[in-house]
Amino acid sequence: MPLRLIFMGTPDFSVPTLQALAAAGHDIAAVYAQPPRPAGRRGLELTKSPVHQTAEALGLPVRTPTSLKGEDEQAAFRALEADAAVVVAYGLLLPKPILEGTRLGCFNGHASLLPRWRGAAPLQRAIMAGDRETGMMVMKMDEGLDTGPVAMTARVAIGADMTGGALHDIMKETGATLMADAMRALGDGALSLTPQPDDGATYAKKILKEETRVDWSQPAETVHNHIRGLSPFPGAWCEMPLGGKAERVKLLRSRLVAGSGAAGTALDDALTIACGQGAVRLVELQRAGGKPMLAEDFLRGAQLPRGTRLA
């Protein structure tokens, strides 16, 4: 049975879920998204979020409040008289009056196997930790941080060389299908909820700029997971001696290889770099202001012979 829904999301990750719910015939009463942000080289143009643009293309009303804490916003939310709200990477905290502002509650599409990786950056943290599996979960939201009971789960394998970007693209489609299934079950009165266990809870804190720099003293597997987990955004990086000066270069893909030497030292002329234990070969890189390049293309314009030290 179709539901009257409020959709709350902002980035590209949220778009397939909005599209799936609309295609399933649910009545989308309103779409909430983060307000337009400055974009462009000079930051002078206000750009609507991917969800905002998608909602307009679907002919759906869009609301972009900067906060949901005010009584007027909360009253406007309740006035929509929705059966439920669906939340996918919205970006604003939902106060209790919003959580209780629909008939059946707010349901979040979360990108981890809860209670592991509650919080802001579950995709990146799972890869950086070397996890071999993650998943999408539909959870009924409560006032805690991703602590509500779970309704549905879809597990996703994490390949040994999978990047954050590749996992993102798999998970957004997986999440869309899962949420559509969950809302169909909710409309039919057949959605069951299972409380989360407390054991095994971990927190996926926001990625900070100061942790994106590669630490070559770490074991090769840790360096490899760091690089792929942060690729393509915000991007792991190091400094390379290029053109007589140190230049910051993003490292987008790598692979584990045999090798040993002083941490951060090039072991050959093909971007094999020694780590604290073992080595990685850099596969894809990006110079400041440039496009991503495969290692062989990068080396056509950059000399990094054996013995070069990276920082």
Contacts of 169 (CB under 8 A, 6+ apart): none
| Type and span of the H or E element at 31 | strand 27-32
Structure tokens of 119? 């919080």
What do you get for the CA distance between the two ends of the chain, in Å?
58
pLDDT at site 226: 98
Q: Is 251 annotated as a binding residue?
A: no
Residue spans per domain, the chain: 4-203, 210-300
CA distance 156 to 123: 11
Q: Which two tokens stand for residue 263?
A: 């941490």
Which amino acid, one-letter code, is at 198?
D
Tokens of 40: 């462009």
Specify the pLDDT at position 39. 77
Question: CB neighbours of 85 closer than 8 A, spacing ≥ 6?
Answer: 5, 6, 7, 8, 98, 101, 102, 105, 106, 107
CA distance 5 to 2: 9
Residue type, 253: R
The values of phi and psi at residue 211, to 5°, are: -100, 5
Q: Where are the alpha helices (DSSP H) in 101-210?
A: 122-128, 164-187
Domains 4-203 and 210-300 share a fold: no
* 210-300 topology per CATH: Methionyl-tRNA Fmet Formyltransferase; Chain A, domain 2 (3.10.25)
Contact 50, 15 (CB under 8 A): yes
Annotated binding-site residue? 44: no
pLDDT score for 133: 98
- The domain made up of 4-203 has a fold known as Rossmann fold (3.40.50)
197 assigned binding-site residue:
no
Residues 61-105 pLDDT 10s? 999 999 999 999 999 999 999 999 999 999 999 999 999 999 999
At 93, is the secondary structure helix, strand, or coil?
Answer: coil
Would you say the C-alpha torsion 280, 282, 287, 291 has a positive or negative sign? negative
CA distance linking residue 138 with residue 140, whole number of Å: 7
Tell whether residue 49 is among the known ligand binding residues: no
pLDDT computed for residue 42 by the predictor:
63
- Among 163, 153, 156, 29, which Cα is nearest to 102's? 29
- Digit-by-digit pLDDT tens for the chain (311 residues) are 899 999 999 999 999 999 999 999 999 999 999 999 987 666 668 899 999 999 999 999 999 999 999 999 999 999 999 999 999 999 999 999 999 999 999 999 999 999 999 999 999 999 999 999 999 999 999 999 999 999 999 999 999 999 999 999 999 999 999 999 999 999 999 999 999 998 999 999 999 999 999 999 999 999 999 999 999 999 999 999 998 889 999 999 999 999 999 999 999 999 999 999 999 999 999 998 899 999 999 999 888 999 999 99
Q: What's the rounded Cα separation, in Å, for the pair 94 and 32? A: 12
Give the β-pairing of 133-140 and 106-110. Answer: antiparallel
Closest CA to 103 of 204, 186, 172: 186
Q: What is residue 78's three-state secondary structure?
A: helix
> CA 80, CA 101: separation in Å to the nearest integer?
9
Q: pLDDT over 90 for what percent of the chain? A: 93
> Which candidate, 182, 190, 240, places its Cα nearest to that of 213?
240
Torsion angle of C-alpha atoms 208, 213, 218, 223, degrees rounded to 10: 90
